[in-house]
Structure 1
Amino acid sequence: MDLKNKRVLVVGLGKSGISAAHFLREQGARVTVSDSRDAVALAGEIPALLEAGIMVETGGHGLLTFRRSDLIVVSPGVPMDTPELKQVIAFGLPVIGELELASRYLKGKIVAITGSNGKTTTTTLVGEILKAAGLPTLVGGNIGLPVIDLVEKSSDESVSVLEVSSFQLETVEKFHPWISVVLNITPDHLDRHGSFENYAAAKARITERQGSGDFLVLNAEDKATQMVAGKTNAQVFWFSARRPIKQGAFVHGESVLFLPKEGGKAEPIMPVSEIPLKGAHNVENVLAAVCVARLAGVSAEVIRKAVAQFKAVEHRLEFVASVAGVDYYNDSKATNVDATMKAVASFDGGIHLILGGKDKDSDYGQMAELLRERVKAVYTIGSAAEKIEHQLRGVVKMKSAGTMQVAVQDAAESAVPGDVVLLAPACSSFDQFENYEHRGRVFREIVAAL
């Protein structure tokens, strides 16, 4: 893209928006940033932007600011139905996201990983395996490091392993992964996408530009994910923790195997017992990573060693401490119902579960049977508390805690040796916390104080 002297507007000043603004300025663009938050809320970011020669608009979006732009770059947190965006799209102005912008400058090959749950763990694991194999590997995206920040480090030989969200995939045009992965598609972000169908369609865009020389890795046990197979020109590989499959990674007996082609001979990768991560869902994440690694030419020996040495990612079923015989786990990244159910299913019982936060138009009633079987008590926090209590009334002992501090204290008082206190909120964090990382850190600090 020729950006020199182009008027470019960046909408939204999250991590990726700020990185995109500075990158665009370095390319010679005349950059303006626009955010709905006021100048006080953005006091930490504004000075560096102004110093770089970037114009700043706060406290709302001006339609003229949008109309006067040659290109608009949207941060993932900004809905595409924002009135100003809808108007300029109708006028035919080009609107792309930070992922799309970065992909046009990123050198080397791209491995893109999406899914409702497991993205961060799988992305991190794939990155570790490729690094262990000696491949020049970059890791970023929705995982915390904006893709645009990888551009300068990338080379023709590098492999960029990217966690990509449905929000990012909404605005792709030429984004072209070499290997793409869809781990699962379960209801999430319905408050943003409007329907499950729209959400699933956004996830499927990961493979839109792939061709016959590319690869798409899919979950053989996830119906919504299976449907993506009909929307690709890439070679499809599958993974399953339940049964042998025609092409891809699967569990057979007590072993992880990889089948490189239909009718071929399955290669042993590692014993399931060597997977260090808790929960059946993490076996699936490992299988997806095995597919990617083998397609990238990594040997079974390297994969086995890298997986065995891998530790749980922060805020994903992260063991925090054992206090008076009670284990505390931080799964703050469980921001939807399906993720919470997977977390709960990772323990046999005796669970004191902290639920709540900002609702995403979720159906918490789906958890009823599992909670009845494994959870001793639920402690609700945040703005979704009333809805959760209503939908799960009579299912399990429930206490309205309101805040994380009260929830942890109440759970600690009720738990007995052998029990588990689990933060797996099934909600986003934006009512009481900056993000899920902040929520997880607060949980850890409260546990440490016990």
Structure 2
Amino acid sequence: MSKIIVVGLGRSGISLLDYYSDRYEMVFAYENNQNIDISKFKKYENSNNINFFLGENPTGDEEADIVYLSPGISPNEDFAQKFIQRDICVTNEIELAYSIAKDANFIGITGTNGKTTTTSMLGDIYKKYDENTYVVGNIGNAVLSSISLAKTKANFITELSSYQLETIVNFRVHIAVILNITPDHLSRHKTMENYKNAKYNITKNQIEGDFLVLNKDDESIDINLENVKSKVIYFSMKEKLKNGVYYDTEKGSIISTINRKEEEIIKVKDIHLLGKHNIQNTLACVTVSILDNIPTALIAEAIKDFKAVKHRLQKVREVDDVIYVNDSKGTNIDSTLKAIESIDNDIILIAGGYDKMLEFDDLIKGFNGKVKTLLLFGATKKLIRDTALKYDYKDIISLKNLKQCVQIAKIIAQKGDVVLLSPACASWDMYQSFEERGDEFIELVNNLK
């Protein structure tokens, strides 16, 4: 009987338990969080092959045939390294899903920012073309959970974080997308080189006939293309490409020249998303869709129908001529800067959260006179405040929690202002996820009178 170890019982861990609950393998499930809601494990009461170890991690000395890590758990943890040194495979649920559905068409999207919007838009395009399409991965739906629902030859539009890409083994995507690279998750990866290498793992198992879609405008993407077997296709906001997809500023249109065939795909005025960065995200979606032979008329139709993703520049409500925008997905500095750039009104910015060991100089320098007041909460509020004062920005209020931030914003906001929750930080100091943080913001705003 095979012995399976699952570490971390969030969405991916639960998907693994669901898969193995009626199988012959013996499963040892670990969850280090002592405050986890154990009610979600009740459905396994009759599964005699699942053993729970709550409030602890394995030591690394246990017998195992394979170890599955939650994305939130680093393979550099001591216990994980012990398994690796013993030649025990340490991977994640995506790897298992891939091994089950090898006839599927996997599309992988990674990058520091824009993954969720791009994955969602691309999912909508593919669903118009083929209903046998599933939007999965870091976006919140475990890949493994969708495998049982899918027919053969399904499309899996997969958002991939650096955490997930760290532990893939054989997982291969037919089309890989790297949107951009900016500093993020350095508390986990320690260096930018490690962070980039995790992202570049998306190309690890690609073969001839696959594609790698890259942002031509991002000089930080320095992947060694000599090691890439797939065909590289670029998209660009700045350059008219001879074989790619670009934004033609004179025509106000997205143009494809893939296969040397010039074609206008969609007018930018027909894209219902804020900010230039979302034109880039749309360029990536168009590139992938054309490479996968989806008709261009259908691509344009799906993009025209697409609206903002929840928690990403989501307009929540207008109160007394003040607009409240939920950008809880803005979990790093570059993402928040893009949110600020996309708004033309004066901004009351709500920021702060988990400390990922980033510096906030670029955030403050990027205000460009748009941020009239900075409301801070969370673990990084002192660091952000000190950085702001260094640049002589003094319109700062430090508060205890998000509720206080919304209350103060309501008091100080003037007609025409935008109250923007875009924390530039992860949520883990006070919340389980950026979704939970965004949902609280939505509730607080909807309760304003």
TM-score range, shorter chain: over 0.9
Residue identity in the other structure for 2:364:
A
Comparing 417-426 with 400-409, greater Cα deviation is found at 400-409
CA offsets per residue over residues 136-158 of structure 1, 9 Å max, x none? 21111111110111211233331
1:179 maps to 2:175: yes
Q: Output aligned runs, 1:3-402, within 5 Å.
A: 5-38=1-34, 40-53=35-48, 54-63=50-59, 66-106=61-101, 107-134=103-130, 136-227=132-223, 229-252=225-248, 253=250, 254-261=252-259, 264-393=260-389, 394-402=392-400
> 2:413 corresponds to which letter in structure 1?
A
Secondary structure of the corresponding residue to residue 175 of structure 1: coil
- Does structure 2 conserve the Cα–Cα contact (< 8 Å) formed by 1:22 and 1:52? no
Alpha-carbon distance in 1 for matches of 2:140, 2:65: 28
Aligned-residue RMSD, C-alpha: 1.4
Counterpart for residue 416 of structure 2: 418
SS of the residue aligned with 2:119?
helix
Which secondary structure state, in structure 2, belongs to the residue aligned with residue 112 of structure 1? strand
Deviations 1:383-426 (A, max 9, x none): 11111111111225111012111111111211111110000001
Asked whether 1:440 is paired with 2:430, we answer no
SS at match of 1:392: helix
Which segment drifts farther, 359-368 or 195-204?
A: 359-368
Deviation at 1:442, TM superposition (A): 0.6
Aligned residue type for 1:97 = N
Q: Runs of 5+ in structure 1 lacking a partner?
A: none
1:373 match: secondary structure:
coil
Residues paired across the two proteins, number: 442
Q: Deviations over 1:263-308 (max 9, x none)?
A: x231110111111111111000000000111111111211111101
- Determine the C-alpha separation between the residues in 1 that align with 2:378 and 2:325: 19
CA contact (8 A) 2:337 2:363 kept: yes
Shift of 1:46: 3.0
Whether the aligned pair in 1 keeps the contact of 2:28 and 2:53 (CA below 8 Å) is: yes
Q: Deviations over 1:313-345 (max 9, x none)?
A: 100000001100111100000000110000011
Are the counterparts in 2 of residues 118 and 282 from structure 1 also a CA contact under 8 Å?
Answer: yes
Q: By how many angstroms is 1:42 displaced?
A: 3.5
Letter in 2 for 1:49: Y
Greater mean deviation of Cα atoms: 131-140 or 357-366: 131-140
Moved more, 213-222 or 80-89: 80-89
Corresponding residue number in structure 2 for 1:430? 428
* Amino acid in the other structure paired with 2:167: T
SS at match of 2:404: helix
Return the alpha-carbon distance in structure 2 between the equivalents of residues 90 and 50 of structure 1: 34
Distance 1:56 1:351 in 2: 48
Deviation per CA, 1:22-69: give whole Å up to 9, x if none.
Answer: 21333421111011122x5232233223432310001212426x5211
Displacement of 1:196: 0.8
Distance 2:419 2:14 in 1: 37
Whether contact under 8 Å (2:348, 2:372) holds in the other structure is yes
TM-score by length of 1: 0.95
Q: Calculate percent identity across the aligned residue pairs.
A: 36
| Cα distance in 2, alignment partners of residues 27 and 247 from structure 1 | 49
Structure 1 contact 8–70 (Cα < 8 Å) conserved: yes
**Aligned-pair distance for 1:228?**
5.3
Deviations 1:51-99 (A, max 9, x none): 32310001212426x5211111111011112111111211211111111
Question: What does residue 405 of structure 1 align with?
Answer: 403
SS in 1 for 2:221: helix
Give the deviation of 1:226 after TM superposition: 4.6
2: CA distance between counterparts of 1:379 and 1:49?
44
